[in-house]
Structure 1
Amino acid sequence: MPSLPAELLGQFDVPGPRYTSYPTADRFVEAFGAEDHARAVRRRRADGAQAAPLSMYVHIPFCESLCYYCACNKVITRHHEKARHYLDYLACEAALQAAQLGPGTVVSQLHLGGGSPTFLDDAELTGLMAMLRGVFDFAPDGEQSIEIDPRTVDTGRLAHLASLGFNRLSFGVQDFDPDVQRAVHRVQPAERVFALMAGARALGFESVNVDLIYGLPRQNDASFERTLAQLCMLRPDRIALYAYAHLPERFKPQRRILAEDLPDAPIRVRMLARAIEVLRDAGYVYIGMDHFALPGDPLAVAKRNGRLHRDFQGYSTQPDGDLVALGVSAIGRMGATYSQNAKTLENYYDLLDQHRLPVVRGLALSRDDLLRRDVIMALMCRGHVDFDAMGEAHTVDFRHCFAAEFAALGPLVAQGLVRLTDHDIKVTPRGWFLVRAVAMVFDKYCGAHRERFSRVV
């Protein structure tokens, strides 16, 4: 990984999409509903695409306590009976989805997110996995991952997760500094995280990810340096290093964070530059965006072999394809459409009580959307777009279609972030750190409501 000066990073301290999809979810419309999703499923079956494996996302919204930085769709409660009620409705939704998809559909990738999936107790997780396996066919060598709140598990619970077939874990750490943890209302001693990592290693999990956030209240250069040192000692297989997006007007919990406690832009940029340097020296491969991995991790292997993909959970080794989403607010993809479930439990339950899929918004992509999606994902995943190949795939004159975008790339070319020829675009090693800024050039919607997104750095 090349070094990246803070001065250059600072020039890109602007909001921008993360491109877990294109168009991004802010473009979804309520005119798209359950019947539109059903049509996309019927089209999948008519095209014979049911032979292709599916990915699956299951949203568990519950948390016992509120983390002030959180922008996820969650329900804060200590009443665990609410989870049992929710699981009954998840089973109804899964049955409706399976009936539409038809027999023989194989799920090759499962991810449980939230909220905190480990809000569920061992019996509830067992029941959830049994229900899913009873409704869908799971590939025996598939990837099964779950997000972990370290405050809610011990090594015994990790062993239970392994027995259920989970082979990948993601620990939500965010920061090791106690003062920062108190400021965001998420106190979890570093010793607990280290003990869980040792337990996960002993149990043979294939990969363990750790989430960190920079830009949190009370973070500074010195405290973040200590967190980075502890992270390198922990040595997870993967690291997701996110920039905190302070949007209190959109996310009510963030109003509990004092603006004066937030590090200013120069400090945030320095923290990112230092993280890149420290992780490079520790032997991590920079995958792209905010992802790092050890050289032997499948994500790093996929990056080297040009087989990297991107979905709603970030970078992935799974081929780009359809995604079934279960649970409140969950977002799925089917062919050339995206769909999102109701965002409140009340609406979610009401639609399922009517034996209807709880899809309330989404988007059917136009030809232009599909072309731009392929360009943006090629940049985000491979750092390369071949004009002739892309034009042939979409039956367009690529150079003519994107003449304005080529002109807009000029400053990025001058900064050494992109190489532009008559035949292709290539993101340079330096440009990989700012690939979102490169992708934004090809996003026709990016100018609208850009302030709703997190910052590029």
Structure 2
Amino acid sequence: MTDLSIKYNKAIPRYTSYPTVPHWKLQNPDQADWLNEVKSIYFSQVDKSISLYMHLPFCESLCTYCGCNKRITKNHGVEERYIDALLAEWDIYVKALEEKPVIRNIHLGGGTPTFFSSENLHKLLFTILETSEIHPQKAFSFEGHPNNTTYEQLKVLADLGFDRVSFGVQDFNLQVQKAIHRIQPIENVRKTTAWARELGYTSVNYDLIYGLPFQTLVNIEENIEKLREFKPERIALYSYAHVPWKSKAQRGYGDEDLPKPDEKLAMYLRAKQLLNEMGYENIGMDHYALPQDELTIAKEKGYLNRNFMGYTTDQNQMMIGLGCSAISATGTAFVQNEKVVEKYQTAVLDEKLPLTTGHFLTEEEETSAQLINQLICNGKADFSTNSLSMELWEGAKSELDEMQDDGLVEIDDYFAKVTEEGMLFVRNICSLFDPKLKQKSDKPQFSQSI
């Protein structure tokens, strides 16, 4: 396995979207064109609904591992204007659809959503829900920081229909926490988890990261062992992405402080082993869930899906992103908002969508996107469905043969199935069907796959 980690440790996208953002073609997409796309796809769906993502970028302190778009401030006076902007942006979409949109999923991400007071969270969500219809199979979730998530915030969100929360734990070890500027006592994790369950949250997720500076195999074992007390329904086990050219905060430590690729691989394999022994099942890439979880059931039945908010059982691709840097998707197109808070606010409060980049997919790109999604979600894909997918297969056949020899994938007559070992390298497998990855760039764009 060490030899494989060296062989396949390459700079590869995480394939949250396809094409990936660096290959999007549009600059400053036209608002009318985008809204027409949204209306067309929304009303053509069999199950007419949208997923709504809201990016809340503010954090009181900087976590150096984080590559997300954020604004560090202790000034909570920024909350009200930002929420007014989110609501103004939502109003643009509601007016364009000319009816109350049906919301199936809501996710609050960041940044730190629990930076916002319970009163302001209520104002934001109550207004949005009042102008919408709620899908009978709705799923509302948010990301919480155990250090600043309060009982009142959890209760306000529960009262509004939220029943899922994801707590960013990352690592319980103090030395690692100091290195990533995320000192977070286990008591805070214990307290917020207990509150969530007391208030009726049915799904608690913990985010853990392996490959952090000064992290060791012993740290990983201790982290997993501590989970026995909490037994969250889901666990996201992310590989630390070292991208100092993108995230300046990561320049505070060097490559010598990070686990080597073979050490990082050992961390992943040990964590996976321990999680499986505790009863968690592998869900796609990076995720684990208990057997009764709906993601586990979706994986077993072959309808697991994935979008910018993560793995989901929802088959619709329609996602509206509100907030600075938020991405929206229809299944055939993407757009991204302005990343600078002030520029974003100025635009939407002037009743303009602050679209800075975007992309409308070609037929070839839609084929690659579908195949990559099938591989990353369900670990298998049929390439015999059309001539475009067959061409992708033929173009990758020699590399697929090599990956089969390495035990990563099983192939037979235009059908590929990722092995259990191969799921660690699923990004590498997906990259074979990404023609755009062959386009060279003068700047680094993606993190290493291991």
How far did 1:66 drift?
0.8
SS, match of residue 288 in structure 2: strand
Alignment partner of 2:423 out of 427, 432, 435 = 432
Tell me the C-alpha RMSD between the 2 structures. Answer: 1.9
Cα distance in 2, alignment partners of residues 136 and 355 from structure 1: 19
Distance 1:102 1:44, change over 3 A: farther
Q: Which moved more, 1:239-248 or 1:172-181?
A: 239-248
Letter in 2 for 1:180: V
Counterpart of 1:456 in structure 2 is 449
Q: Distance in 2 between matches of 1:387 and 1:114?
A: 37
What is the distance in 2 between the residues matched to 1:169 and 1:330?
20
What aligned pairs does 1:68-79 form with structure 2 within 5 A after superposition?
68-79=64-75
Alignment partner of 2:362 out of 366, 372, 380? 366
Q: What aligned pairs does 1:199-278 form with structure 2 within 5 A after superposition?
A: 199-278=195-274
Q: 1:266 to 1:416 in 2, by over 3 A?
A: closer
| 2: CA distance, partners of 1:397 / 1:369 | 10
User: Residue 401 of structure 1: CA displacement?
Assistant: 4.8
Indicate how the Cα distance of structure 1 residues 216 and 387 shifts in structure 2: closer, same or farther if over 3 A, else same.
Answer: closer
Q: What is the SS of the residue equivalent to 2:410?
A: strand
What does residue 280 of structure 1 align with? 276
Deviation at 1:153, TM superposition (A): 1.6
Report the equivalent of 1:117.
113
One-letter amino acid of the structure 2 residue matched with residue 303 of structure 1: K
Contact 2:367–2:388, Cα closer than 8 Å, also in 1: no
Q: For residue 172 of structure 1, what is the aligned residue in structure 2?
A: 168
CA contact (8 A) 1:63 1:116 kept: yes
Match of 1:8 in 2: 4
Cα offset, 1:10, TM superposition? 4.2
Report the equivalent of 2:31.
Answer: 34
CA offsets 1:127-184 (integer angstroms, 9 cap, x no match): 0111111222222441000000111123443233212211100000110001111111
Q: Is 1:321 the equivalent of 2:317?
A: yes
The CA deviation at 1:6 is 4.4
How far apart are the structure 1 equivalents of 2:284 and 2:6? 18
Cα distance in 2 between the residues matched to 1:51 and 1:104:
15
Q: Secondary structure at the match of 2:147?
A: helix
User: How many residues end up aligned between the 2 structures?
Assistant: 447
- Report the Cα distance in structure 2 between the residues aligned to 1:355 and 1:253, rounded to whole angstroms: 34
Identity among equivalent positions (%) equals 38
Looking at structure 1, the residues matched to 45 and 388 of structure 2 have their Cα atoms a distance apart, in angstroms, of: 28
1:207 alignment partner AA: S
What's the counterpart of residue 177 of structure 2? 181
Say yes or no: does 1:406 pair with 2:403.
Answer: no
Listed as ranges, the gaps of 5+ residues in structure 2 are none
| Residues 1:418 and 2:409 aligned together | yes
Q: How does 1:93-108 map to 2 (within 5 A)?
A: 93-108=89-104
Letter in 1 for 2:182: R
Return 421-430 or 362-371, whichever deviates more.
Answer: 421-430
**Structure-2 separation of matches of 1:79 and 1:236:** 33
Give the Cα–Cα distance (whole angstroms) in 2 for the partners of residues 418 and 54 of structure 1. Answer: 34
**Pick aligned residue for 2:40 from 8, 23, 43:** 43
Aligned-partner SS, 2:99: coil
Measure, in 2, the Cα distance between the counterparts of 1:180 and 1:387. Answer: 44
Q: Name the amino acid aligned to 2:351.
A: H
Deviations 1:36-55, CA, capped at 9 Å, x for gaps: 3123124336x633861111
Of the three residues 54, 63, 67, the one matched with 1:58 is 54
In structure 1, list runs of 5 or more residues that go unmatched: none
SS across alignment from 1:211: strand
Hey, what's the Cα distance between the residues in 2 that align with 1:424 and 1:283?
30
SS state of the match for residue 235, structure 2? strand
User: What code does the residue aligned with 2:423 have?
Assistant: W
SS in 2 for 1:374: helix
Q: After the TM superposition, which residues 282-431 of structure 1 pair with which residues of structure 2 at under 5 Å, given as runs?
A: 282-388=278-384, 390-391=385-386, 396=387, 398-431=389-422
Structure 2: distance between partners of 1:451 and 1:308: 31
Q: Is the 8 A contact 2:50 2:316 kept in 1?
A: no
State how far apart, in whole Å, the 1-side matches of 2:389 and 2:165 are.
Answer: 41
Does 2:438 match 1:441? no
- CA distance in 2 between counterparts of 1:238 and 1:150 reads 16
Separation (CA, whole Å) in 2 of partners of 1:59 and 1:335: 20
Secondary structure of the residue that 1:445 maps to in structure 2?
helix
Contact 1:419 1:428 in 2 (8 A): yes
1:192 and 2:180 aligned: no
Matching residue of 2:157: 161
The one-letter amino acid paired with 2:209 is: I
Rate the CA distance shift 1:11–1:284 in 2: closer, same or farther, 3 A.
farther
Contact (CA 8 Å) 2:306, 2:377: kept in 1 or not?
yes
133-142 vs 59-68, greater mean Cα deviation:
133-142
The normalised TM-score by structure 1 is 0.93
Question: Which has the larger displacement, 167-176 or 212-221?
Answer: 212-221
Q: Distance in 2 between matches of 1:421 and 1:255?
A: 45
Contact 1:323 1:332 in 2 (8 A): yes
1:184/1:257 contact within 8 Å kept: no
> In 1, are the aligned partners of 2:94 and 2:100 still within 8 Å (CA)?
no
Which TM-score applies when normalising by structure 2? 0.94
